[in-house]
Amino acid sequence: MRIAVLNGPNLNLLGTREPELYGTTTLAEIEARVATVASELGVTAVFGQFNHEGDLIDAIHALGGRPAAPGVAPQFRDRADAALINAGAWTHTSLALRDALTGVSLPFVEVHLSNIYTREPERRHSVLVSAARGLVCGLGATGYELALTGIVAQLRAKRA
Ligand code: DQA
């Protein structure tokens, strides 16, 4: 089983970005922790962070089994069974991102470090969540590990 872990804009800044909101764990540290959980679960995790929306959409298309556009990184060129996605600010705005995920039927779990429902009004709405298998928010870096464990259990239960 292959799971893609996709992070959106500004999440490359984790560790130093607004640590009172997002903590001091870097994205590389989060990915290392998720990779450890993936190997304990016996699944393959592939990782990417995107500051350009079209690049993320191209990666989602390829992960959903469509022909890869030029420039799509090698780890996204094989189909994935599901994705964990922290879309950052695109969460609140990007119907194009939701359309990409639903357009290739890629099951996904929405992840946020902070609890977006207790933040500024403009962050209290997700345009993605209606298409998500689940949502983990407010649990910091641990949320990615929980989301991985949850989606793998769900996919395995459906296959059994
Ligand atoms: C975030 C929440 C978003 O509102 C924000 O734009 C981010 C990070 C989170 O992980 O809490 O970039 O997705």
For 42-92, where are the alpha helices, taking DSSP H only?
Answer: 53-63
- Total number of residues shown for the chain: 160
Q: Please report how many Cα atoms fall inside a 13 Å half-sphere around the Cα of residue 155, on the Cβ side.
A: 19
Q: Which atom of ligand 1 is nearest to the CA of 9?
A: 12
Q: Torsion over CA of 29, 57, 86 and 95, rounded to 10 degrees?
A: 170
The best mutation among 10, 49, 91 to test binding of ligand 1, ranked by most ligand atoms within 8 Å of the C-beta, falls on 91
Domain limits at 99? Answer: 2-159
Encode pLDDT of 17-49 as tens digits: 999 999 999 999 999 999 999 999 999 999 999
The answer to whether 92 and 155 have CB atoms below 8 angstroms apart is no
| Model confidence band, residue 102 (pLDDT cutoffs 50, 70, 90) | very high
CATH number at residue 137: 3.40.50.9100
The answer to whether 63 and 106 have CB atoms below 8 angstroms apart is yes
Domains in the chain, number: 1
Q: How far is the CA of 157 from the centre of ligand 1 (A)?
A: 30
